[in-house]
Amino acid sequence: MIEYSTKECILKIDKVGLTLNDNVILKNVNAAIHDIVRPGISQGQVVGFLGPSGIGKTKLFEIMAGLMRPTEGTVTYGKEVARPGSAGVVQQNYPLFNHRTVYGNLKIAALKNYKNGKESDERIQEMLSRFNLSQYAQRYPAQLSGGQKQRVAIAQQLLCSKHFILMDEPFSGLDINMVDEVSELISEIASSHDLNTVIIVSHDIVSTAAISDTIWLMGRDRDANNIPIAGSYIKHTFDLIKRDLAWHPEIRKQAGFNQLINEIRDLFQTL
């Protein structure tokens, strides 16, 4: 077992509920992410957020991003209630300003947190270097590949929000090589700072589990006739660290990993 310790809570979802037009979408959603510390290693976190289509993942995603207020409960980052900008949001289509260069897109993001021009330029250069984008700084989004656009979008959101990134379906539509590249990128982001936390909403169980240290599985309760009861919540939480299924580069080859995937797939039938 890899040595680590658990510190303060950095994200808390506390009794969140959401009702829209008398329809109960979310009910009593609870979860928490704590700072993980490993001796001599910078270790952030990756949380996989899974569940069937239409279960309410998108609504909870928007609440975590501060883009929607819950009917009940709160989401807090540290001691601050979630608001726009609390977490960076990387959407599936990587929206960028098409009339601005890569550098120009990052400049807009940087100015939200770094009012000093020199400081913002230094942070942009750091991001360009970290994401291997320096040679593309003066190109426009139309001149970039899908993978390059994704890296720009992630860099942009890190400049805005510093430590928390919410990613919507980052593996969707990618071939095997690109899935591997995106997985490596997400792991690199998480490990670049102790407080960095990437939350992935995805339908790709295997790719998500392979890079996660925690998995949230969203579902609903059912009545005696097996009919779903309105109101989804995080029904199952998997601590992959305690299962010794986190932070291993060859995790897919471990028997325990295949058992985990089968366990999640079996639970999908009950959600």
Q: Per-residue pLDDT tens for 64-74?
A: 999 999 999 99
Each domain of the chain, given as residue ranges in start order, spans: 5-93+164-268
Give the model confidence (pLDDT) of 204-236 as tens digits: 999 999 999 999 999 999 999 999 999 999 999
Q: Give yes or no for residue 49 having a pLDDT over 90.
A: yes
Task: Report the chain's mean pLDDT, rounded to a whole number.
Answer: 91
Given a contact cutoff of 8 angstroms between Cβ atoms, the answer to whether 88 and 69 are in contact is no
pLDDT score, position 46 = 96
Mean pLDDT for 132-159 is 89
3-state secondary structure of 96: coil
167 strand-pairing partners: 90, 200
12/115: higher pLDDT = 12
**Separation CA 220–CA 24 (nearest Å):** 11
CA angle 234-17-36, nearest 5°?
A: 45
pLDDT score, position 173 = 77
**Separation CA 93–CA 110 (nearest Å):** 21
Given a contact cutoff of 8 angstroms between Cβ atoms, the answer to whether 13 and 47 are in contact is no
**Separation CA 106–CA 125 (nearest Å):** 10
Give the model confidence (pLDDT) of 84-139 as tens digits: 888 988 887 777 899 999 999 999 888 877 877 788 899 899 889 988 899 999 99
Mean pLDDT for 132-148 is 91
Class of domain 5-93+164-268: alpha beta
